[in-house]
Amino acid sequence: MERSDRSIEVELIVHAIHLKYGYDFRDYSRAAIQRRLLLRLQKEGLANLAELQHRIIHQPEFFARILTDFSINVTEMFRDPEFYQGLKGQVFPELARRRHLKVWHAGCGSGEEVFSLAILFMEAGLYQRTQFYATDINREVLARARRGEIPFKDLRKYSANYLAVGGEQSLADYLDISHGEATIRPDLLANILFSDHNLVHDQVFGEMDLILCRNVLIYFNRNLQNRVLDLFRESLTPGGYLCLGMKESLYFADPGNDLVEVVPAVSIYQRKP
Amino acid sequence: MSNRRPDLSQPRHAVVIGTSAGGVEALSRLLAVLPASFSWPVLVVIHLDKNRQSQLARALNHRCSLPVKEADNMEPIIPGTVYLAPPNYHLLVDDTLHLALAVDDPVSFSRPSVDVLFESAADVFRENLIGVILTGANADGARGLAAVKAMGGTTIVQTPATASFRGMPEAALATGGADHVLPLAEIAPLLIRLHGAE
């Protein structure tokens, strides 16, 4: 099928970003990239993609907006409660047998899911022996994550999710709430190291007991998905666990891989011990 | 002009369907009429709660001549297959004729959103796309149907008076305009005629 002019323009922008800023979105889902560019175009009131491309190339501060548009920031605390139930029920008992734990949350965005993990690790008595690494390509959202901020408007939903996971307290017990602002308690932030890491070209993050990367691969094409899965596999200690998004369960095309699905419906895998 | 030869294993045409309240009944009546020889892929967004939907694909698959499945991320679009957007994910069409899922914010208060599917499919299939809006109680799909029309595609809306919920067809008629406004029972026969004419 012949490509539309629009899809050619989108491709040119993706290449321009790579050449100018070094961020490589060439293996991202083109449909999602195009949609986000068009939304930005509308928001800025620009006439066409050529004008958008011009601003991206000539105004680094404008590109920062595009980078935020492209980074996958849709996240929530205890997203998909059934996933966290599976983690608690079938992975925690195994983790409890290990003396030190390393956890990597790749694509952490503003941190809601790594905060959720920290809370559950605390409740399971695992938190004190765990180092969490939370990474994202977007420094701006990482800065918010470091401050532990939770948008006030989302608290009701997060509380409901927490209870659906079988939470033992009230979510508010883990937050400091004052002046209409909510932040994660400092002791829950203390073991989390936030840093900037790009799954497309950065290296292995070694010896992890648990890697969480949910609804990130969904935006990658097959080629990049497989490369990132290799990166995860190499970053896992034998017996380590990999948690993907609910619709990311079918990507193990590579026959040599030693990842076994341990909690099927919620996409939790284990590297063979 | 392009001198690339067309790839016959890839669909050149497609049908997109959007529906909401009352949609399970309408969708199963429409899809059940399409024969196994209907070779255009059919992409569907229906607003439903989580648990009902995975059962819906199975139930429809049982009742229809065409295979019906929930869409997987990055799967190639196979002719003559019906794909349902999974609950809580947007469904889009990639320019390589693969399906893409996304967890971007809801659009028109909906995820999956009819607008998102229709707009991305319109961009890829252009004049070879048929957009269908069935019963529903909200305005999702109105913008999407306008996009189908703007790219030269064919638009069909269920006659509001015959829909279980008229809000969605009415909103689509108000913004997009429709090439055909028909009661449910006449929509599948029209699709079959359009398919036969190609």
| Record: contact A247-B124, CB cut-off 8 A | no
Beta strands of chain A (E only): which ranges? 101-106, 130-136, 149-150, 175-178, 181-184, 192-196, 208-213, 236-244, 259-263, 268-271
Amino acid found at A265:
A
Looking at chain A, the whole-number percentage of residues with pLDDT higher than 70 is 95
Beta-carbon separation of A32 and B92 below 8 A: yes
Count of A-B CB contacts under 8 Å: 69
**CATH level 3 topology of A81-271:** Rossmann fold (3.40.50)
Nearest to A7 among B6, B73, B95 (CB): B95
Residue-level pLDDT at A213: 94
Reference B134, options B100, B176, B181; nearest CA is B181
pLDDT at residue number B40: 97
Please report which confidence band the pLDDT of residue B3 belongs to, taking 50, 70 and 90 as the band edges: very low
Portion of chain B with pLDDT greater than 70, in percent: 92
> Among A33-37, A66-70, A226-230, B187-191, which range has the highest average pLDDT?
B187-191
Mutate to test the interface with B, among A6, A35, A37 (most CBs of B within 10 A): A35
A199 pLDDT band, cuts 50/70/90, is confident
Please state, in angstroms and as integers, the Cα–Cα distance from residue A153 to each residue in A159, A180, A182, following that order. Answer: 11, 10, 10
Query: Is the Cβ–Cβ distance between A107 and A136 less than 8 Å?
Result: yes
Strands A101-106 and A130-136: parallel
CA–CA separation, A231 vs A21, rounded Å? Answer: 23
Summarised one tens digit per residue, pLDDT across range B40-68 is 999 999 998 765 556 899 999 999 999 99
Q: Does A6 touch chain B (CB under 8 A)?
A: yes
- Token look-up 């790839």 returns B7
What proportion of chain A, given as a percentage, has pLDDT over 90?
66
A270 to chain B, any CB pair closer than 8 A? The answer is: no
Q: Binning pLDDT at 50, 70 and 90, where does residue A252 land? A: low
pLDDT of residue B33: 96
A134 touches chain B (CB under 8 A): no
The verdict on a CB contact (< 8 Å) between A1 and B7 is yes
Mean pLDDT confidence for B9-13: 82
Quote the pLDDT of residue A225: 87
Average pLDDT, chain A: 90
The CB density around residue A66, as the number of other CB atoms within 10 Å, is 21
Residues of chain A with CATH 3.40.50.150: 81-271
- Contacts A247 to B, Cβ<8 Å: 72-73, 86, 89, 101
Q: Which two tokens stand for residue A1?
A: 């099928």
A145, A110 Cβ separation under 8 angstroms: yes
- Other C-beta atoms lying within 10 Å of the C-beta of residue B31: 21
Which of A32, A74, A250 has the CB atom closest to B105's CB atom?
A74
Instruction: Kindly provide the b/e burial profile for residues B96-123, where b requires at least 16 CB atoms within 10 angstroms of the residue's own CB.
Output: bbbbbbbbbeebbebbbbbbbbbbbbbb
Q: Where exactly are the structural domains of chain B? A: 14-197
CATH superfamily of B14-197: Methylesterase CheB, C-terminal domain (3.40.50.180)
pLDDT at B6: 44
Residue positions of B annotated with a catalytic role: 20, 47, 140
- At A65-119, the pLDDT tens digits run 999 888 766 788 998 899 999 999 999 999 999 999 999 999 999 999 999 999 9
* pLDDT reading at B1 higher than 50: no
Mean pLDDT computed over A201-213: 89
Residue A202 or residue A49, greater confidence: A49
